Amino acid sequence: MLDTSLPPPSSADTVRCRTEADALGYAGFDAIDRMMAATTGGLTGGLSPMGLSLATLDWAGHLAGSPGKRAELVVKAWTKALRFAVHAAQATADPRTPPCIEPLPGDDRFTGEAWSTYPFNLWAQGFLLTQQWWHNATREVPGVSPHHEDVVSFAARQLLDILSPSNMPLTNPEVLAEIAATGGANLLEGARNLADDVGRALNHAPPPGADAFRAGETVALTPGTVVARNPLMELIQYAPATDVVAAEPVLIVPAWIMKYYILDLSPANSLIGHLVARGHTVFCISWRNVTAEHRDYGMEAYRRLGVGAALDAIGAILPGRKVHAAGYCLGGTLLTVAAAAMARRGDDRLASVSLLAAQTDFTEPGELALFIDHSEVRFLDSMMWQRGYLDAGQMAGAFQLLRARDLIWSRLVRAYLMGEREPMTDLMAWNADATRLPYRMHAEYLTQFFLRNDLASGRYEADGYPVSVQNIRVPIFAVGTERDHVAPWRSVFKIHNLADTDVTFVLTSGGHNAGIVSEPGHPRRHYRIRHHPADAPLVGPDEWLAGTRPVDGSWWLAWGDWLDARSAASRVQPPPMGAPAAGYPPLAPAPGTYVFER
């Protein structure tokens, strides 16, 4: 009988077979899971149904096991129903009856005079009472994890906002008045607006009016020259506007989530133009709008090819000069990593670090944390793995959901029910000029910063070594904005807990974008500022707020004074544009070429 058995494998054969199985088999299993997650994510807009289900089960299960909380909600429901009935009777008899509940600060849906008339006032009051009850129902349920509580409360708020009487033509008095005044023409105009928006979305065209704001024509007009270019960024050097300039140049590191020119919008509100006019030599990174080709560019690539390459170019153009570096949003987080890595290896090219609406500690990242948990990151990671990048529209959708009342529903009412188009501004047009994020970079950012908080914990590595914010010894200027839903100011304030150096903190009015674009002369702007020496005791954000008086005007002026105080006393002649002999010839006029990539 023929022996068909095989000899026992050697240990080397076993290792080789396992390696081949891992390479050929197990990786394929993971690819199947990723494709499944990516397909599901495409149907859900990138949101993880498992994450929402887990949050709902956590809330519902603990609510079911909390008879005291349920009894409290029953009592509150009866109390609110009685309160509404009494108010309805009084308001019917006397239209001047004050409301029984006021909208939350920032909720302007029911502030018009028409909402004080019967029966619209009752619909508004009933909705606000219902909204308040659901807030109570989704909050403070014993045993629910804080993240799941936030997710369930957010989901309930989104559903309620859909059902708001302000969104319905028959229950919105302002829409009814417009119908009466125009004979329904507003609805026809709204239908045209809807058809136009659908067509633009299908064709990936910018919103109406955005074409009037084109980089190099109406925005991003500060004169300059591209003096360096690599696969990830262009470096723009701006032409001097004064006879003499500060010896130390300024390097601006913007976020690559959007185009750089939020800091160089119209001439009247250009931060870059403001710095140049004050006598600073300014360099700014213009990031590339990546494609699937750049899928493997990670955070280290952005640090090396971004901040590192820019500093090398500035060093060739201005040998021996220290640099004031400023980072906005995600660019500020990257700049912190770069500065900490430089400090670890003794690189002293920085004169100061300025962080504009940038987080370094992600323990309290704000409402963006609603979209960041292990389940959600897996879905996003799989979608990016399949495409090679995170689509710009998906990021924009997440930001809009955070402020759906203002950014979605109020705009839909105005455009489709009232038939009115909101006038386009330079900031709105820039906001529509979104960019893509490479797969590896965004996956690392979500995991290492949002989920694990590696930078604040001293676990984040650059050049293969852990970096520590405490190693940064140059002075820091940090800016938070009062209504920031992307980088909440209390989160930005945490730089005080990480840095072992002088920190000057500014809290300015406005939100994540408008608070930074806060030019001198802008009406109703104010800011608070306080310097914290490295050896002074720390204070908490609420104590800081209570003890720091507001100052009217723009924080740009305070920042300019801060930079001047940390620069050489004597001014120098403006530097040449680029350094051809050192390998940095002028390549193109500002705003360069990468800013036009779609």
C-alpha angle 183-188-193 in degrees, rounded to nearest 5: 140
- Least confident stretch, 7-21, 98-112, 419-433, 501-515: 7-21
* DSSP-derived 3-state class of residue 552: strand
pTM: 0.88
Can you tell me the distance from the alpha carbon of 176 to that of 406, in angstroms, rounded to the nearest whole number?
21
Residue labelled with tokens 């160089």: 264
Instruction: Quote the tokens at residue 498.
Output: 């990480």
Q: What's the number of domains the chain is made of?
A: 1
Peptide bond into 119 cis (omega under 30): yes
* DSSP-derived 3-state class of residue 246: coil
> Please, which pLDDT band fits residue 405 given cuts at 50, 70 and 90?
low
pLDDT at residue 205 is higher than 90: no
* Predicted local distance difference test score (pLDDT) of residue 19: 46
pLDDT at residue 247 is higher than 70: yes
H-assigned helices in 391-540: 392-402, 404, 410-412, 426-431, 439-444, 454-457, 489-492, 495-498
Q: Please write the tens of the pLDDT for every residue from 330-371.
A: 999 999 999 999 999 999 999 999 999 999 999 988 777 777
* Predicted local distance difference test score (pLDDT) of residue 20: 45
Would residue 413 count as lying in a domain? no
* Predicted local distance difference test score (pLDDT) of residue 96: 82
Q: What rounded mean pLDDT belongs to the chain?
A: 89
> Please, which pLDDT band fits residue 21 given cuts at 50, 70 and 90?
very low
Beta strand pairing status for 437-438 and 389-390? Answer: antiparallel
Can you tell me the distance from the alpha carbon of 186 to that of 182, in angstroms, rounded to the nearest whole number?
6
Would residue 68 count as lying in a domain? no
Would residue 47 count as lying in a domain? no
What per-residue string of b and e applies to 415-441 under the rule 16 or more CB within 10 Å gives b?
bbbbbbeeebbbbebbbbbbbbbbbbb
Would residue 85 count as lying in a domain? no
* Predicted local distance difference test score (pLDDT) of residue 45: 67
Can you tell me the distance from the alpha carbon of 372 to that of 362, in angstroms, rounded to the nearest whole number?
11
Mean pLDDT, to the nearest integer, of 463-480?
95
Mark whether 17 is an active-site residue.
Answer: no
- Least confident stretch, 144-158, 337-351, 387-401, 549-563: 387-401
User: Which residue type does 310 have?
Assistant: A
Pick the closest to residue 407 from 387, 390, 377, 432 (CA basis). Answer: 432
C-alpha angle 295-298-301 in degrees, rounded to nearest 5: 110
* Predicted local distance difference test score (pLDDT) of residue 459: 94
Instruction: Quote the tokens at residue 462.
Output: 């650059």
Mean pLDDT, to the nearest integer, of 38-54?
76
CA distances from 188 to 182, 195, 348 (A): 10, 11, 64
Q: Please write the tens of the pLDDT for every residue from 499-550.
A: 999 999 999 999 999 999 999 999 999 999 999 999 999 999 999 999 999 9
Catalytic residue among 17, 100, 284, 329: 329
Mean pLDDT, to the nearest integer, of 149-174?
92
Mean pLDDT, to the nearest integer, of 365-378?
78
Can you tell me the distance from the alpha carbon of 355 to that of 328, in angstroms, rounded to the nearest whole number?
6
Q: What is the dihedral of CA 509, 511, 516, 517, to 10 degrees?
A: -100
CATH number of the domain enclosing 559: 3.40.50.1820
Q: Please write the tens of the pLDDT for every residue from 473-513.
A: 999 999 999 999 889 999 999 999 999 999 999 999 999 99
Can you tell me the distance from the alpha carbon of 594 to that of 598, in angstroms, rounded to the nearest whole number?
9
Would residue 418 count as lying in a domain? no
Mean pLDDT, to the nearest integer, of 232-242?
97
Residues 6+ positions from 355 with CB-CB distance below 8 Å: 326, 327, 332, 335, 336, 476, 477, 478, 479, 492, 495
Task: Give me the percent of the chain exceeding a pLDDT of 90.
Answer: 70
DSSP assignments along 164-215, one per residue: -GGGSTTT-HHHHHHHHHHTTHHHHHHHHHHHHHHHHHHTTPPPTTGGG--B
> Please, which pLDDT band fits residue 471 given cuts at 50, 70 and 90?
very high
Task: Give me the percent of the chain exceeding a pLDDT of 70.
Answer: 92
> Please, which pLDDT band fits residue 6 given cuts at 50, 70 and 90?
very low
257: domain range? 224-363+453-596
- Least confident stretch, 117-121, 310-314, 590-594: 117-121
Which sign does the torsion angle of CA 45, 51, 54, 56 carry? negative
Can you tell me the distance from the alpha carbon of 345 to that of 566, in angstroms, rounded to the nearest whole number?
23
Would residue 305 count as lying in a domain? yes
- Is 332 within 8 Å of 362 (Cβ atoms)? no
* Predicted local distance difference test score (pLDDT) of residue 432: 86
Would residue 163 count as lying in a domain? no
